[in-house]
Amino acid sequence: MLSTKNQNILVFLICAVMLICALAFYTTQPLVSDVSYFVAASKRILHGAVPYVDLYENNPPLAFWFTVPAVWFAALINQNAEAIFAVFVIVLDSTILLFTWKLHELDCRGDPYRRYLILILTVVVSFCLAFGFGQREYFTTLLLLPYVSSVALRSNHQNLPKGFALPLGALAGIGVCFKPYFIFIPVFVEFFWLTQHRNWRLLFRCELLAGLALVVLYAALVWWFYPSYFSEILPLTVLTYGAYQASTAAIVTSSTVLIFTCAALLVFTTGYWTVARDRAILIWVAAALAGIVIHFAQHMGWPYHLLPGLAFVTIALLLSAVQLQQPILKMAIGFLVLLSISLGLSDYQRTQMQSVTRFDRLLSGAKPTRMMMLTYELGAAFPFMPAQTIEWVGHFQSLWPMAAIEKHQLSAVDSERVLKKIALTLAHDISEQKPDYMIVDHRPNSEMFLGGDSNPVSSLSSFPEFKSAWAVYTLINDDGGFQLWQRQ
């Protein structure tokens, strides 16, 4: 029988192996579309581009702030920026896991529980969240892990010293700043805890005050450094946001929600045997319920929006499973988790490589150095970025307001105003940055066009500024969904 110290060392080694395997996987695959976009935008920012002036982005800038240091370091050592960003994420994973391990030295349930917990958290952040690796939702989930763990500790009548409470509160505050919706996670967790203890003074704990201070500071910094986000981008986002919203029925029946529902049922089923011994599991369930609310609040139905909910419900499920007395049920749950991880990683790899392969065929041997893409969808272009040495120019998301026009969700006056802004922005980008190739997304079944005039060039050519800028390009390839244009 191994001593406690040797058991802890073994757990550390297992966690290290999992993180190294995750690092090897993510550094050899194209990043998901939004994350590739953050990397591309960060390269532009390091060369003087200003977010919300030279780059369009609907959300506040925290994702850029997390990406720029990794991209800067990659340029310093002359390495691939996407791979260095993946290294940065895994290092952050390791740091958060180590902090959570130290936090649970205070756990009255002892070392066995701490070892189970850190193994579960490592599995979740390394492999279960592959479809959103590096997304805002991924960072939020990661940064909130110590906070949710601390509330679970407090639910077992364990006090926290300020040396732990302040940093975990600061991490949680940073986590909820990625998107306004993420405030639901601490709200649900605190509401559940208050229903158990019925003491409103618990809301004045130092970790909550530290988190609130970080949120206020972040809002002030955004207001000070990026006034155009509030004056231009936010009003435009509010005006056109509804164009990408899915119906409630579509969200309810989406596969990710079904997975979440099944996992939640398993949590409550297995928790039936363990809740009397470990009510802290219900803290993780409260965080998971907040995740599903976040998914519905955004009303997009995009799978990665469910990432916090899936992460927290998986943690609750596995914490319940390790305390079960039924070995067959334990094995069944473990098998299902391993199966879902395998399928998730396989799907991630297949999806990313399909995008790269498609653009390789579209280019047909062309060697662009400066490229723009006219599309509403980041996923149409940015997974291709690690495969080629290309400088992507322009505002990147210039066409995202166009979906509201095509779906007739704006008045005639607003439609003309928004379309003119798009045309003038693109004309400026083309004239100033002179990309040698342009890719045009004209898929008729896309979210933007719905079978209408599916070529944005046709829609924008009514504006003389855009028509004049576009006149120097010639169509050289068309695969039925994307066109390749070359500058003459």
DSSP at 246: P
Categorize the per-residue pLDDT at 19 as very low, low, confident or very high, splitting at 50, 70 and 90: very high
Looking at mean pLDDT, say which of 32-46, 174-188, 243-257 comes out highest.
Answer: 174-188
* Residues contacting residue 346 through CB under 8 Å, at least 6 positions apart: none
Ranked by mean pLDDT, which of 57-61, 304-308, 468-472 comes out on top?
468-472
* pLDDT at res. 367: 80
Mean pLDDT of 180-191: 93
pLDDT tens digits, one per residue of 117-161:
899 999 999 888 888 899 999 999 999 999 999 998 887 777 788
Question: Has residue 387 got a pLDDT over 60?
Answer: no
Residue 485, SS3? strand
Mean confidence (pLDDT) of the chain? 83
Count CB atoms within 10 A of the CB of residue 59. Answer: 16
Query: β-strands 473-478, 370-374: how paired?
Result: unpaired
The whole-number pLDDT of residue 386 equals 47
Phi, psi dihedrals of residue 309, rounded to the nearest 5°: -65, -45
Question: Looking at residues 26-35, what average pLDDT do you find?
Answer: 82
Quote the DSSP letter at residue 31: P
**CA distances, 349 to each of 17, 278, 353 (Å):** 20, 38, 6
Based on the number of CB atoms within 10 Å of its own CB, is 89 exposed (0-12), middle (13-18) or buried (19 or more)? Answer: buried
Q: What is the pLDDT of residues 408-467, one digit of tens each?
A: 778 888 888 888 888 898 898 899 889 898 888 887 665 544 444 567 888 888 899 999
* Rounded CA separation 178/181 (Å): 9
The per-type count for the chain, helices as H runs and strands as E runs, is: 20, 5
What pLDDT does 338 receive? Answer: 78
pLDDT computed for residue 222 by the predictor:
93
pLDDT of residue 451: 41
For position 221, what pLDDT does the model report?
94
Tell me how far apart the alpha carbons of residues 347 and 198 are, in angstroms, rounded to a whole number.
45
Q: Please name the amino acid found at residue 353.
A: M
Q: Does residue 252 register a pLDDT over 60?
A: yes
Q: What is the pLDDT of residue 445?
A: 61
Report the pLDDT value the prediction gives residue 258, as an integer from 0 to 100: 66
User: What is the pLDDT, as a whole number, of residue 82?
Assistant: 87
Q: What is the pLDDT of residues 274-318, one digit of tens each?
A: 665 667 788 898 899 899 889 888 888 788 888 899 899 888 888
Per-residue pLDDT at 379: 59
Confidence class for position 112, pLDDT limits 50, 70, 90:
confident
CA gap 112, 418 in Å, rounded: 59
What is the dihedral angle through the alpha carbons of 33, 38, 174, 318, rounded to the nearest 10 degrees? 30
Phi-psi region of 49 (alpha: psi -120 to 50; beta: other; left: phi over 0): beta
pLDDT tens for each residue of 200-246 = 787 888 899 999 999 999 999 999 999 989 888 888 888 877 777 77
Per the CB < 8 A criterion, the answer to whether 335 and 321 are in contact is no
CB atoms within 10 A of CB 55: 21
